[in-house]
Amino acid sequence: MARPSRKVLTGRRERQQRRRLEAAGLFEAGRTRAEVAAELGVSWRAAHTWYQSWKAGGSKELEAKSKPGPVPKFSDAQVEALKAELVRGSLGHGYANELWTLRRVARLILERLGLKTSPSEVWRLLRRMGWSPQKPQRKARERDEAKINQWKTERWPELRAKADKEERTIIFVDECGFSQKTTAKKTWAPSGQTPVLEMNFNWDKLSVIGGISLKSIWFQIHEESVKSAQVTAFLDQLKRYVKGNLLIIWDGLPAHRSKVVAQYLSEQQGRILVERLPAYAPELNPIEYLWGNVKGNDLANFSPKELWELCTAAREALIKKRRRPKLIRAFWRQTELDLTEAA
């Protein structure tokens, strides 16, 4: 597809500037943002942005917005110098967290290279450097990284060896909530026409307890919270469907540590052994990635009116995942646990 000529681009900028100046005149005449949007054929968001600019500096501010600024030329040496500064991390530059925003990078460019840049220019430069916008992972401050690493490198191989020796199936277990509150994800629509997703503002949720081995998935859905009774019922289900001995790996949820569950395990005559994951390390549990996959794909933009609709959709989604062994294996790989010779 041919790129638009410079003449076409110039004409487009002129039309955009005329509309902005028209908007300024309408604002001065007392028209609302909604009225301006309707009259000029733009979205309310665009009219709101113009209104903010007009309010701050009048027509001149809107005119200035339309003028394309000069694109700074970064030499290879400048790019490499900037990259070295970025690799030091934002903490090394006096910020409170290890996050680089466009504004912070622009300030760094001004301080180190003496060049003033816009957010779009910084964006293009970062893309040139091979960087991409990413959502930060959240990690608890209470995490003990040394213990977590020790579990991955020492305890996990021990557990695999024990499972092999005793012919135990390793199953990671966890609980999750599915809510009528919709998880909204981006979708496609005509420019200026934002889609509307209706939802219940008084919403209920389901509780799910599930287990994942290298080959399959098991789950139970409850309308109430998962407590000791639900945990033991799920372990009974695993005993029915999985032959032989089990090695259950889960977190320190109070229901997992309850007297009821402890008594139940003591009555299993060694068929079920349990191992607790390090605290605040959900990334080690492959079923966490199953939950995220269901919420981010199957239930995204799904707005059930009734709880039974959510229950049906969640059950169907989990059954579909169970039929995809490659996907199950992918959930395990995301934990970065060593899977060679895993039980």
Check: CB of residue 55 under 8 Å from CB of residue 61.
Answer: no
pLDDT at 12: 65
Q: Could you tell me the pLDDT band of residue 72, with boundaries at 50, 70 and 90?
A: low
Q: 65 with 13: CB under 8 angstroms?
A: no
Is the pLDDT higher at 129 or at 216? 216
Q: What Rg, from alpha-carbon coordinates, does the chain have?
A: 28
Averaged over 216-235, what is the pLDDT? 96
Above 80 in pLDDT, residue 1? Answer: no
Question: Partners of 174 in the beta sheet?
Answer: 210
217-222 and 205-212: which strand pairing? antiparallel
- Give me the residue spans of the domains in the chain: 6-65, 76-128, 147-184+199-333
pLDDT number for residue 201:
77
Share of the chain above pLDDT 70, in %: 92
CATH for 147-184+199-333 is 3.30.420.10
Report pTM: 0.68
168 touches 273 (CB < 8 A): yes
Token pair in block for residue 24: 């300024």
Q: List CB contacts of 164: < 8 A, sequence separation 6 or more.
A: 341, 343
State yes or no: pLDDT of 323 exceeds 70: yes
3-state secondary structure of 294: helix
Could you tell me the two tokens for 99?
Answer: 């996050």
Locate tokens 């401050």: which residue? Answer: 141
Most confident of 14-18, 78-82, 98-102, 241-245: 241-245
Higher local confidence (pLDDT), 169 or 190: 169
Which of 15 and 206 is assigned the larger pLDDT? 206
Average pLDDT over residues 192-208: 84
CA dihedral 323, 326, 332, 337 (to 10 degrees): 150
Residue 22: pLDDT band by 50, 70, 90 thresholds? Answer: confident
* Residue recorded with tokens 């032989």: 244
